């Protein structure tokens, strides 16, 4: 018997993803995969194509080439709404709540349209998402009245209310104080402990390292390194691309 660990089949994967915006080539033959229950971090300099990759995985951006598979099924031609219903949720780099709605209404809307629930089932799902994100006490406040940490929690609550299997977090840690960031890290760690599969783009490396099992570094539209976070951060190409002038 081999000493190699058995490969877990990926829950979400893409291969050979190209994306051009006109003449601008943003993604170039990107392969990516995340296993069920795994937490993967993605780092890379501004403009590396990280958010575009999330758009392709979530179905918001059609790739120019390549394929996306979820649970072994080819999803390349399906749109964002269908992917959300099948269990792929996403938070945005800039939180996008419906500002005129309450926290509960925002989360309920996600349960209705993202998970296809209605009535009592949608309300229960929304309440559970608010409880998991420590927002239940703000349920009746307008989303516009929330501070930044709570807006980020609401992004998470709206994603959770769609009953995801995989959650894509795009720079959710940005702009927070260290104390607030600690609370957010604990929350994301708990979601991982609950068995959720997490892919997290983040510039705040120390936050990422507290949660993730594996790190991927992108630069100029390609994956330049992936593996154990320590090995990836020690990779000379990563240090050049990601840390830039900060490394002598
Ligand atoms: N809709 C679009 N049309 C044209 N160019 C785009 C579009 N979306 C993204 N780009 C360009 O694609 C490149 C990659 O952008 P992307 O937002 O994916 O980078 P990123 O790695 O997420 O960067 P950041 O760390 O700043 O968030 C950038 O040059 C960006 O200007
Ligand atoms: Mg981005």
What is the residue extent of each domain of the chain?
Answer: 7-87+168-243, 96-164
Task: Please give the pLDDT value at position 90.
Answer: 95
- Name every residue whose Cβ is closer than 8 Å to that of residue 154 and which is 6 or more positions away in sequence: 95, 97, 103, 106, 107, 133, 135, 143, 146
Q: How far is the CA of 170 from the centre of ligand 2 (A)?
A: 7
Residue 188, pLDDT > 80, answer yes
Does the C-beta of 2 come closer than 6 Å to ligand 1?
no
Q: How far is the CA of 137 from the centre of ligand 2 (A)?
A: 31
Does the C-beta of 1 come closer than 6 Å to ligand 1?
no
Which residue carries 């964002």 as its tokens? 80
Does the C-beta of 44 come closer than 6 Å to ligand 1?
yes
| Topology adopted by domain 7-87+168-243 | Rossmann fold (3.40.50)
Report which of 120, 198, 190, 185 is spatially closest to residue 159, judged by C-alpha positions. Answer: 198
If you average pLDDT over residues 193-218, what whole number do you get?
Answer: 96
Task: Please give the pLDDT value at position 243.
Answer: 63
Q: How far is the CA of 39 from the centre of ligand 1 (A)?
A: 23
Residue 127, pLDDT > 80, answer yes
Residue 231, pLDDT > 60, answer yes
Of the listed ligands, the closest to the CA of 47 is 1
Phi-psi region of 163 (alpha: psi -120 to 50; beta: other; left: phi over 0): left
Q: How far apart are the first and last CA of the chain?
A: 46
Q: How far is the CA of 208 from the centre of ligand 1 (A)?
A: 21
Task: Please give the pLDDT value at position 180.
Answer: 97
Considering the chain, what is the average pLDDT of its residues? 93
What one-character-per-residue DSSP string does 142-164 give?
BGGG--HHHHHHHHHHHHHTT--
The DSSP 8-state label assigned to residue 141 in this structure reads: S
Report which of 116, 172, 109, 107 is spatially closest to residue 135, judged by C-alpha positions. Answer: 107
Q: What proportion of the chain, given as a percentage, has pLDDT over 90?
A: 89
Q: Choose the weakest-confidence range: 1-15, 46-60, 146-160, 204-218.
A: 1-15
Task: Give the C-alpha separation, 248 to 84, whole Å.
Answer: 44
Residue 247, pLDDT > 60, answer no
Distance of CA 88 to the CA centre of its chain: 9
**Of 161 and 3, more confident:** 161
Give the model's confidence band at 2: pLDDT under 50 very low, under 70 low, under 90 confident, else very high: very low
Whether the predicted model's global pTM rises above the 0.85 cut: yes
Residue 64, pLDDT > 50, answer yes
Q: In what order do the strands lie in the sheet with 214-219?
A: 88-91, 166-170, 197-201, 39-43, 214-219, 222-227
Task: Give the C-alpha separation, 199 to 57, whole Å.
Answer: 11
Q: To test ligand 1's pocket by mutation, which of 23, 26, 223 has the most ligand atoms within 8 angstroms of CB?
A: 26
52 CA closest ligand 1 atom index = 18
Residue 248, pLDDT > 50, answer no
Does the C-beta of 46 come closer than 6 Å to ligand 1?
yes
Residue 246, pLDDT > 60, answer no
If you average pLDDT over residues 53-67, what whole number do you get?
Answer: 97
Kindly report, residue by residue over 129-181, the tens digit of the pLDDT.
999 999 999 999 999 999 999 999 999 999 999 999 999 999 999 999 999 99
Task: Give the C-alpha separation, 105 to 186, whole Å.
Answer: 25
Does the C-beta of 212 come closer than 6 Å to ligand 1?
no
Q: Whose CA is nearest to atom 5 of ligand 1?
A: 21
If you average pLDDT over residues 61-67, what whole number do you get?
Answer: 97
Q: How far is the CA of 28 from the centre of ligand 1 (A)?
A: 13
Residue 121, pLDDT > 80, answer yes
Q: Is the dihedral of CA 49, 53, 54, 55 positive or negative?
A: positive
Backbone angles phi, psi at 67, to 5 degrees: -140, 155
Identify residues whose C-beta is under 5 A from ligand 2, the ion: 50-51
Q: How many Cα atoms sit within 13 Å of 63 on the Cβ side? A: 27
Of the listed ligands, the closest to the CA of 55 is 1
Report which of 116, 133, 122, 109 is spatially closest to residue 196, judged by C-alpha positions. Answer: 133
Q: How far is the CA of 119 from the centre of ligand 2 (A)?
A: 35
Residue 110, pLDDT > 80, answer yes
Q: How far is the CA of 93 from the centre of ligand 2 (A)?
A: 7
């Amino acid at each position: 018997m081999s000493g190699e660990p058995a490969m877990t089949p990926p829950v979400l994967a893409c291969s050979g993803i190209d994306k051009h915006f006109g003449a601008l080539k943003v993604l170039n033959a990107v392969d990516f995969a995340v296993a069920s229950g795994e937490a993967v971090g993605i780092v890379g300099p501004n403009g590396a194509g990280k958010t575009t990759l999330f758009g392709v995985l979530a179905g918001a951006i059609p790739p120019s080439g390549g394929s996306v598979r979820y649970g072994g099924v080819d999803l390349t031609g399906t749109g964002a709404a269908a992917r959300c219903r099948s269990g792929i949720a996403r938070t945005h780099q800039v939180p996008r709540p419906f500002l005129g709605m309450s926290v509960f209404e925002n989360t309920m809307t996600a349960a209705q349209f993202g998970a296809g629930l209605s009535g009592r089932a949608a309300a229960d799902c929304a309440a559970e998402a608010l409880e998991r994100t420590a927002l239940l006490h703000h349920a009746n406040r307008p989303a516009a009245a929330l501070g930044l940490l709570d807006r980020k929690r609401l992004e998470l609550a709206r994603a959770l209310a769609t009953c995801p299997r995989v959650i894509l977090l795009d720079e959710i840690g940005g702009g927070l104080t260290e104390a607030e960031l600690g609370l957010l890290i604990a929350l994301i760690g708990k979601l991982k402990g609950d068995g959720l599969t997490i892919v997290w783009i983040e510039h705040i490396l120390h936050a990422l390292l507290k949660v993730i099992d594996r790190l991927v570094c992108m630069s100029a539209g390609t994956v330049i390194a992936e593996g154990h976070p320590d090995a990836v951060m020690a990779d000379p190409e990563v240090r050049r691309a990601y840390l830039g002038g900060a490394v002598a």
